[in-house]
Amino acid sequence: MPKLKAGTVIPTVAQDRAITAAARRDPHAKPLTDAQWKAAAPTVRMGRPPKAAPKQAVKLRLDPDVLAVLRATGAGWQTRVNTILRERFAL
């Protein structure tokens, strides 16, 4: 069983049976049958769509002063380095 969040209340077997019985009596809240659960399919895709050409991680050794200047430009400095290289090599 997965770890539960603090404060999660798990019903007893008797409470679970009472909840299920009440749901079955309610015409607007009928539990799904096993066949309906098997036929159900997720309709939402989770996560980002995959890119056609994803970026690749590389290890690049830079002089400390060069790296300091790049990092000083703030968040997104790696993306700016990528742009500089694209412009320099006319890609």
User: Nearest-CA neighbor of 81 among 90, 91, 67?
Assistant: 67
Q: How many other C-beta atoms are found inside a 10 Å radius of the C-beta of residue 81? A: 14
Q: Where are the domains of the chain?
A: 11-41, 57-91
Q: Model's pTM, two decimal places?
A: 0.45
User: Nearest-CA neighbor of 60 among 44, 81, 39, 40?
Assistant: 81
Query: Tens digit of pLDDT per residue, the chain (91 long)?
Result: 678 888 999 999 999 999 989 888 898 887 788 898 888 877 777 788 889 999 999 999 999 999 999 999 999 999 999 999 999 998 8
